[in-house]
Structure 1
Amino acid sequence: MEVPENKLNPSFFSRYAYAFKAIVIFIMVMVLLIPTAMIMDVIRERQDRQASAVEEVSSRWGYEQHITGPILAIPYTVAGSANSTYVYLLPEQLKINGELLPQKLKRGIFSVAVYDAKMQLSGTFSPTALYKSGVPPSALKWDQASIIMGITDLRGIDNQVKMVWNGKTFPFSPGVVNTDLFKSGIQSPVSLASGDTAALGGSFTVEVGVKGSGRISFSPVGKTTTVHTSSSWPDPSFDGAFPPKDRRVDAKGFSASWEIQDLNREYPQSWAGNKYDIHSADFGIKFFMPAESYQQSIRAVKYAILVIGLTFIIFYFIELSQRRAIHPLQYALVGLALCIFYTLLISISEQLNFALAYLIASGLTIALITLYVASAYKNSRIAAGIGGTLLLLYGFIYVIISAEDQALLMGSIGLFLTLAAIMYFSRTIKWDKLSEKSTVQ
């Protein structure tokens, strides 16, 4: 009795060996995405450690600082109520000249950007603006007036802050009259004669030194606010509501100037109560740390499937064209080498800048795979071809992760060209002949 041929007999597997090999390779690529996901967890864990280091240093040195003021606050009693509220008068002119002395403090392997800001604030008040608050001068408690300044982290103040106004010196003490404008700051009583609005017209100066970390910002409370800062920090990032009017950034540091009018913001020169958000127009400087290695490493890991997949496709095409079977274990070893690249990248970038770390990690990975292929195939030409292709691939990935704004465009074009190259080279393979040759005994 003749036994019917089973569809899963050895001749079937022999006939479609290359097809089954392609399926196995695809499964291996998917499996190798598991260690890349674990690498992503490692990056997040290192980011958390970095954030903890920044928090620890900042808690001792000083957090980022927001400087607001000086502002004149005068209480008055609302008709029909026993409670008092405040009228706030902003300066007519406000000039801030500051020098930011930066440092890098180390916590383990992590660096934190901190600064010591030496600033001089000067300007004038205008009694005219007070009439626009809607509160009659006769209702104001002039003898309880105060000058207030918002400073985010009072622990960073490193001098006895005093205000010289109309020839008189007013020392500041910690605390704020209320939380209408800001939650943290300093104040100084400036008892004024009842109805003496002429006293508001004099000039003032304030010397302030504050320590902070990461960022410093200012509120444009003057009708005309002029700010000039300089520092030896070579990598500033100007953020907030307004960019600098003039700037200079080079290897020796930076200088920047702002000039902002009251028409550029959403709050007036005087008002009563908590009607406005005085921080809505804040602007400032971020002490940018150029070694944002973890974010760039995350972007590199996102292209892991592209690197592993294309490398395996190259090996598969070599296997087809050379008629030399590559064992799945060899694919796995090459795939693991490609995964280890990312751990090398993360660990080296914590010690060096990202570009140099990427160069070292990719160079080691390419050299390892090239030498392995040369030893396995006994063919230096194939090994050189694999090494050159990986060099182009890693170079292309670096360009993509470095170009933040054009990353999607460049990645899409690169994938299209890669697919076109694969289709071009695959057209020379006689797919219909592979099964015939595989069944030849």
Structure 2
Amino acid sequence: MQKTLFTKLAIIAGLCLIFAIGLSMIGSVIYERQTYAESVVREIAQQHVNPQEVITPFIAIPTTVTPECQTETSDTNRKCAASYTKIETIFANQTQATQDLDVSTDTYQRGIYHATSYNGALTFDQNYTFQNHTFDEAITNLSESTSVANQELDQTSTDNTESKIKPEKTTVHWDKAKLIIPISDLRGLATLPTVTIDKKPIKATYPQISIIKNITYVEVAIPQEVLIRSEKSVTEKRNQIIDIMVDLPLAGISNLNTVPTGQNFGLTMRSNWLTPNFIGKALPNTKKLTSKGFEASWQNQYLTIANNQNLSQCASIANSQCTITSRATFDSTHPSMNPDTSMTMQENLAISDADTVPNSFRDVSLNSFGVSFAEPNDVYLQTERAMKYALLLILVSFGTFFLFEVIKSSRIHPIQYLLVGCALFVFYVLLLPLAEQIIFWKAYAIAASACVGLIGWYTYYVLGGIKRAAIFTGTLAGLYAAFFGILTTEDMNLLLGAVFCFAILACVMVMTRKIDWYKIA
């Protein structure tokens, strides 16, 4: 008897090991299907539109700088460095951004796979105050340096026989000032945005010649009358406010990130998506989740000022040697953008006016925040979680059979153990393809009902009675129901799983507390 008992336990252990290997094979199938689904979403992004990242609009003014140089006489070659261009960036004094997004999973599909897409209306309500500490600080310095340079140049021209030092001269090209609206993927613009400057609507255009390298954007030429008023206000030390409203229709997939700039920036996002995942360098200050969607608001002065410094520093590098690169790409493990790698800048370090070090770069990140619309509990993640309890399910089923043998003196052949284990194993084979076609809870209910029904019918003959079969079938159905309840509680599934394992162990110990194992052996 002792040899028979140990042999049966060894057989049960061997069957559990076989099924564990089989479950690992199913795990590899899940990973393969998940990888393929992500590749399909990437293909959709390549053919249609990527995740979007939007930098808050700002004003860019091209300038030409003539460096300081030494002149000998009119007959001697001048020892002067060549002039170079740079961009002065002017950020809004006040920005209130609003994003209303309609999220859908039906827009882009490839068979059973889909990408979570959104169409939205983005609005930037901005004002630029021309006073000290904002626009005035940058432009006044440029104007003063230009005036001084012109005076020195006049003195040099009147007496060109003497050795003179020609000071640096900066020319501000007011007529080329542009409102820059950077968007990571311009394919998401169904129509060019409309920009209202001082109540005058202007249609944005694609840049013919990019003044800021390596970013994609649309631009709006600042009206001449606005520029004239602005220049006069700087000269006369008067406050001048320009109101700018940007209405931006935008489409994208998976997620939307915003890079804040300006002095005072606020963002409000509203959407019909029920399970938002807030990503980036800042969480929303306030959020409201309802049955119809969510509303969230951001305001982070530190990140905004840091972006101003980094962006203006990059744009002011000579001859656009600093480039801004968008990394709006998919993460390697999930079809959403990596929130920690938004937009970076590479600066070509200059060591003199004529020489540069082409292979020396400095990476500077622009801070962003936003929302990911990827499904938090996709079918692959839920199936993978369900499989974590598979071995426990098989152990409990085999243990129940074994207790029937010990307590009720039933005789169960190892082949019958194997067939019941196979039926439990098939549950996971059914679950994944069903979950890819229908809602997960329905797939789980169908697969569990089929396996419980099959095993219940089979145990009626194995255990030799309807009462015993009903007990085993009820136990199995309770296990499936309990496991599904654990899966649906994302935040407490580990705790509930641990409590459930403890409860099962306690039940086994209570049921076997009076068994004399030596007598049975």
Are 2:130 and 1:90 aligned? no
| Matched residue, 2:35 | 48
- Equivalent residue number for residue 125 of structure 1: 128
CA shift in 2, pair 1:272/1:209, >3 Å: closer
Alpha-carbon offset, residue 306 of structure 1: 1.0
Count of equivalent residues: 419
Residue identity matched to 1:108? G
Q: CA deviation digits over 1:182-209, x for unaligned, max 9? A: 7332234447459817386211122221
SS of match in other structure, 1:94: strand
Q: Distance in 2 between matches of 1:134 and 1:73?
A: 12
Deviates more, 1:329-338 or 1:387-396: 387-396
- TM-score, normalised relative to structure 2: 0.72
**Are 1:178 and 2:218 counterparts?**
no
Whether 2:70 is the aligned partner of 1:65: answer: no
Any residues of structure 2 matched to 1:31-430 within 5 Å, and which?
31-76=18-63, 77=65, 79=67, 82-103=83-104, 104-105=106-107, 106-127=109-130, 128-130=133-135, 136-138=141-143, 139=170, 141-143=172-174, 144-166=176-198, 169=202, 171-174=204-207, 176-179=210-213, 183-190=215-222, 192=227, 196=231, 198=233, 201-245=241-285, 247-251=287-291, 253-254=292-293, 256-263=295-302, 265=304, 267=306, 269=308, 272-274=312-314, 280-289=366-375, 292-430=378-516
In structure 2, relative to structure 1, the CA distance for the partners of 1:21 and 1:257 (3 Å cut) is closer
Give the partner amino acid of 1:346. L
Moved more, 193-202 or 46-55: 193-202
On the 8 A contact 2:261/2:305 being kept in 1, the answer is no
> In the TM superposition, what whole-angstrom CA distance separates every residue of 1:215-244 from its partner, at most 9, and x where no partner exists?
122222243333344444444444434444
Deviations 1:24-79 (A, max 9, x none): 11111011112111111111122122213322333333111112121112344385
Q: Secondary structure at the match of 1:396?
A: helix
Contact 1:241 1:282 in 2 (8 A): yes
1:355 and 1:19 map into 2 onto residues whose CA distance is: 40
Task: Give the alignment's TM-score, normalised by structure 1.
Answer: 0.84
Cα distance change of structure 1 residues 358 and 93 upon mapping to structure 2, 3 Å threshold: same
Segment of structure 1 superposing worse, 53-62 or 302-311: 53-62
Q: Distance in 2 between matches of 1:250 and 1:236?
A: 11
Task: Return the offset for 1:325.
Answer: 2.4
* Partner amino acid, structure 2, of 1:171: A
3-state SS in 1 of match to 2:257: strand
> Is the Cα–Cα contact under 8 Å of residues 307 and 366 in structure 2 kept in the other structure?
no
Q: SS at 1:196's partner residue?
A: helix
Task: Please give the per-residue CA displacement for 1:255-280, whole angstroms capped at 9, x wherever unaligned.
Answer: 52525252464516567323997975
| Counterpart code for 1:166 | D
Alignment RMSD, CA only? Answer: 3.0
Report the Cα offset of residue 210 of structure 1.
1.7
Shift of 1:356: 1.9
Change (3 A) 1:78 1:323: farther
State how far apart, in whole Å, the 2-side matches of 1:325 and 1:208 are.
Answer: 74
User: Is the contact made by 1:151 and 1:184 (CA closer than 8 Å) also made in structure 2?
Assistant: yes
CA contact (8 A) 1:148 1:176 kept: no
In 2, the alpha carbon distance for the partners of 1:319 and 1:188 equals 83
Residue in structure 1 matched with residue 3 of structure 2 by the alignment: 16
Give SS of 2:181's match: strand
**CA distance change for structure 1 residues 95 and 323 in 2, over 3 Å: closer, same or farther?**
same
SS in 1 for 2:314: coil
Q: Is the contact made by 1:338 and 1:365 (CA closer than 8 Å) also made in structure 2? A: yes
Residues 71-98 of structure 1 show CA distances to partners (whole Å, capped at 9, x for unaligned) of 1123443856744333322211222334
Cα distance in 2 between the residues matched to 1:230 and 1:415: 42
Shift of 1:319: 1.2
Post-superposition CA distance 1:134-165 (Å, at most 9, x none) = 99223462334332122111111111234332
Distance 2:373 2:246 in 1: 25
Partner of 1:3: none
Uncovered stretches (5+) of structure 1, i.e. residues with no partner: 1-13, 436-441
Report the identity percentage: 25
